[in-house]
């Protein structure tokens, strides 16, 4: 089974090394027959071929069911590359990866603001305010005059229904509750359409508890009562913001794993960015990247009914939990003194044991 590994920018290469070692340890233990293939995207690809997402890598992704993508530090790209689609934009767009699944939970041994939480933010990933994801041609952002900038927001019936179905299906594997987050009191057409479509899908899931919360109240409730949420479904930008908030409540951005999925494929990518402030210093927490990869293995195992891969994914999650439970393994973002590499070594040992 081939896995395409795209390290990306900033801390991307460091956290990717840890993930690669973890996959190799998992492979030796479970005999998965993994073939890990590394390709450059982002700044390294700009330097080599002038584009952050080279065509040949894109073609290889199409042929490879499993892809692990690192962060794209697009703010650091040279001006001429900044208008090109970043690796994440290009991949989400080309494969219509409409569901961005972002779990956050408190864990034994991890200091966190939240006392107890275990939720998943299901973020619509192809519409909303994200200019580069909206249009067949042109961009959803424009400047009529140098003093005025405008942006469009797209919400469709099908886009809303498919993300709602993803959320309700996920809730059936968890605590059977879905909360839709919106701002339909102000954006009566766009959020109004999203809310009414999610409500209509909810009627097909009588077994799932369902409620709605307005986004500003949600930002507050998430801090006060994070334990009351199970699956949270929302539009693109609200999901982007609330998932960082949720990750932080559970211990930090370095723990925020995520996959981008369609009905046919998923791509692993941590919720955080390239963290240029700590890049190259052996300080990055590789957990989010590892959780994303673990989610990808699990997703693939479920899709293909592959019990061995499912067992490997479960083992990887348990090993990661064990390593994180010991404060001696914590990276600086969690208040510890362990480096990225040492964390990776502890994890590879835990997987092998
Ligand atoms: P960021 O997520 O990279 O960093 C925010 C803060 O969290 C920084 O202090 C950073 O050091 C810390 N942090 C993030 N991940 C960490 C980890 N694994 N371990 C320890 N600390 C971690 O967000 P920022 O600074 O706003 O953006 C930096 C660059 O990343 C920008 O170019 C932005 O466009 C890009 N970005 C890319 C994303 C992606 O590829 N999916 C998502 C978000 C931002
Ligand atoms: Mg984000």
Do 181 and 299 sit in the same domain of this protein?
A: no
Ligand nearest to the CA of 343: 1
- Cβ–ligand 1 contact at 92 (below 6 Å): no
Do 78 and 143 sit in the same domain of this protein?
A: no
Do 221 and 332 sit in the same domain of this protein?
A: no
Do 15 and 140 sit in the same domain of this protein?
A: no
Say whether pLDDT at 16 is over 80: yes
Lowest mean pLDDT segment, chosen from 63-67, 204-208, 224-228, 244-248: 63-67
pLDDT of residue 196: 98
d(CA 201, CA 75): 38
Do 214 and 245 sit in the same domain of this protein?
A: yes
Q: Provide the domain count of the chain.
A: 2
Structure tokens at 21: 């070692």
pLDDT class for 82, splitting at 50, 70, 90? confident
Structure tokens at 215: 């986004």
Active site residue 244: yes
Do 43 and 135 sit in the same domain of this protein?
A: no
Say whether pLDDT at 43 is over 80: yes
- Going by C-alpha positions, the residue among 215, 212, 202, 216 that lies closest to residue 171 is 202
Ligand nearest to the CA of 276: 1
- Cβ–ligand 1 contact at 20 (below 6 Å): no
pLDDT of residue 122: 98
Q: How far is CA 209 from CA 102, 104, 169, 206, 312, in A?
A: 20, 20, 12, 8, 32
Say whether pLDDT at 133 is over 90: no
Active site residue 183: yes
Domain boundary among 196, 226, 250: 250
Say whether pLDDT at 132 is over 80: no
The pTM for the full model equals 0.96
pLDDT class for 29, splitting at 50, 70, 90? very high
- How high is the mean pLDDT of the chain? 96
Q: What's the mean pLDDT in 285-311?
A: 97
Do 14 and 80 sit in the same domain of this protein?
A: yes
Q: What's the mean pLDDT in 61-86?
A: 92
Structure tokens at 51: 């584009």
Instruction: Provide the CATH number for the domain around residue 166.
Output: 3.40.718.10
Range of the structural domain that residue 167 is part of: 113-250
Where in 239-288 does DSSP place strands (E)?
A: 259-261, 266-268
Domain boundary among 250, 267, 300: 250
């Amino acid at each position: 089974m081939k896995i395409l590994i795209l390290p990306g920018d900033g801390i991307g290469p460091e956290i990717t090394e840890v993930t690669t070692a973890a996959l190799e340890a998992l492979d030796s233990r479970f005999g998965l027959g993994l073939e890990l293939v590394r390709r450059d995207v982002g700044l390294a690809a700009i330097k080599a071929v002038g584009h952050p997402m080279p065509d040949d890598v894109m073609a290889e992704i199409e042929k490879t069911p499993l892809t692990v993508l690192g962060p794209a530090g697009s703010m650091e790209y040279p001006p001429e590359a900044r208008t090109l689609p970043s690796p994440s934009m290009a991949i989400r767009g080309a494969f219509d990866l409409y569901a961005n699944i972002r779990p956050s939970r408190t864990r034994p041994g991890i200091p966190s603001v939240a006392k107890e939480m275990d939720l998943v933010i299901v973020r619509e990933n192809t519409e909303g305010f994200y200019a580069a994801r909206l249009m067949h041609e042109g961009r959803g952002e424009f400047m009529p005059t140098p003093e005025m900038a405008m942006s469009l927001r797209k919400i469709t019936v099908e886009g809303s229904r498919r993300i709602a179905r993803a959320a309700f299906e996920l809730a059936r594997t968890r605590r059977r509750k879905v909360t839709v987050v919106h701002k339909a009191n102000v954006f009566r057409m766009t959020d109004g359409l999203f809310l009414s479509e999610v409500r209509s899908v909810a009627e097909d899931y009588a077994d799932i508890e369902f409620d709605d919360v307005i986004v500003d109240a949600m930002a507050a409730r998430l801090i006060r009562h994070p334990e009351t949420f199970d699956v949270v479904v929302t539009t693109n930008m609200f999901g982007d913001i609330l998932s960082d908030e949720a990750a932080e409540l559970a211990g930090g951005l370095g723990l925020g794993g995520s996959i981008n999925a369609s009905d046919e494929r998923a791509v692993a990518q941590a919720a955080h960015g390239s963290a240029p402030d700590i890049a190259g210093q052996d300080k990055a927490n590789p957990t989010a990247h590892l959780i994303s990869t673990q989610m990808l293995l699990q997703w693939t195992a479920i899709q293909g009914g592959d019990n061995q891969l499912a067992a490997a994914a479960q083992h990887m999650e348990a090993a990661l939990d064990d390593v994180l439970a010991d404060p001696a393994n914590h990276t600086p973002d969690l208040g510890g003194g362990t480096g990225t590499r040492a964390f990776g070594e502890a994890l590879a040992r835990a997987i092998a044991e």
